Structure 1
């Protein structure tokens, strides 16, 4: 393994500890900013842009005016119905720094590999006892490929298990450079139909499907994860097509069906955005169970949830 660049920087928007759903054992998930897709159901919209994002919690605002005074672009105005003119906001964080009430907060901060490792080290005992480790998520962690690579190398140097949630929508060379350091790949597939995929994610799926095959060759263990979305892929034909593709991948034995939920809806309001899924209800448990049978009918193990 080449020398680890502990000074390599990345933009991290969350570190979640004690996860049991994103790889084996007890894991710590490091969420990285940036994603090339724009999935309508995305539950982490703050992850989509590569730079830090500004949240505004209206209920916490006392209208003290300090944020308006320090904003360098004049993006903040109490007279503005949305309070923040997002077309002017440069997400510099100056306003959040002077907000004493938590109305303005930044999601995403620059961290070095060394700083992240200091956080991960706190859970090292859990990794050892449970067979767990760290999982990179996002966003799309491969967008920050240099940072992801160095962080994975540092974790491997500690003897920790590594995992990554990825759509694979990045250049082939990125996959080939990073994935050999991933023990458990969780490949996210939405639809095999290119028109359906592009309509709902704003990107075609050819590269994603090609890289799914590559990832399954390079990673030690690969599972397929499918967000099951009403009106998009919540039907037997769509799920069967994904299961059939999973069988073409190398060593894939398990497909996870992730039923659509609305848990991230409030984040859109915090970002000054409308929720793209409107009033679409959460996926019914009975439908998820029926689709599980479709996957199992293709000879694959199927789990509902992470």
Structure 2
């Protein structure tokens, strides 16, 4: 029986697709984005980390394992109790990570279970997977949340560890299949937010019929503690958060598109 490596299941999510959703986080990612806000998702293996907690004024060090193996049926058991909420809100299940397409057999089995029970399915992906994997899951996927980070292949490889050629080919494949897609653009000061990159992404997205919305995702420091717990270097500590004015200026670059644009998703 195929098992998937899961590091979190969150109910009542409202930022991972339409309606109220359950988001299933799969562990393992082919990219190493320097701004990754889920560093615990990167390795495709369970990881032990230490965390400190306080009780009655005393500090205690606790060991925690991130990631556990679950069958598709076990995941669905956690999902199915929320079907009335999905139906009422127009929600469903989103598979995120990490990169869910790194576990294609498990993902496919779980997608089939959800679709057989009338549940809307979404996949939050960096787009780095084989064409064959995308083709397998198309019939069982209602929506893609598709990241576009950097158009320059060299910059993409420098900041994520991989070229973007496979990613852009897969975006074309999604367009050919006409699967509804939300493009997600992480805004990282000094890395992804320059005019050339944003204009290039806009030009790329403009002719795509599958794209229903663009989400601009501003960088934040909320993952800093995760890096500390996992003994990983936090390279972007000096970045300052965007002001509302700056975000408004960036959003205005997309005003000439006939596609809704949101800040934060």
Contact 2:52 2:61 in 1 (8 A): no
- For residue 302 of structure 1, what is the aligned residue in structure 2? 261
- Larger CA Rg, structure 1 vs 2: 1
Q: Is the 8 A contact 2:22 2:93 kept in 1?
A: yes
2:123 to 151, 164, 183: 164
* Distance in 2 of aligned mates of 1:175 and 1:60: 46
1:37 to 31, 42, 45: 31
Instruction: Say whether 1:22 aligns with 2:16.
Output: yes
Rounded Cα–Cα distance in structure 2 between residues aligned with 1:136 and 1:217: 22
1:54 Cα deviation after fit: 1.6
Tell me the equivalent position of 1:122: 81
TM-score normalised to structure 1 length: 0.82
What are structure 2's unaligned runs of at least 5 residues? Answer: none
* 183-192 or 232-241, larger mean C-alpha shift: 232-241
> Match for residue 159 of structure 2?
200
**Aligned partner (choices 224, 240, 246) of residue 287 of structure 1:** 246
Larger strand share, 1 or 2: 2
Note if contact 1:240-1:298 (Cα within 8 Å) is conserved in structure 2.
Answer: no
| Partner-residue secondary structure (3-state), 1:295 | coil
With 176-185 and 126-135 compared, the bigger mean Cα shift is at 176-185
Pairing partner for 2:215 from 256, 263, 266 = 256
Answer yes or no: is the 8 Å Cα contact 2:94–2:124 preserved in 1: yes
**Using the alignment, how far apart are the partners of 1:145 and 1:241 within structure 2?**
31
1:185–1:219 CA contact under 8 A, matched in 2:
no
Q: Distance in 2 between matches of 1:217 and 1:34?
A: 27
Secondary structure (helix, strand or coil) at the match of 1:156 reads helix
The residue aligned with 1:3 is none
2:46 to 44, 52, 55: 52
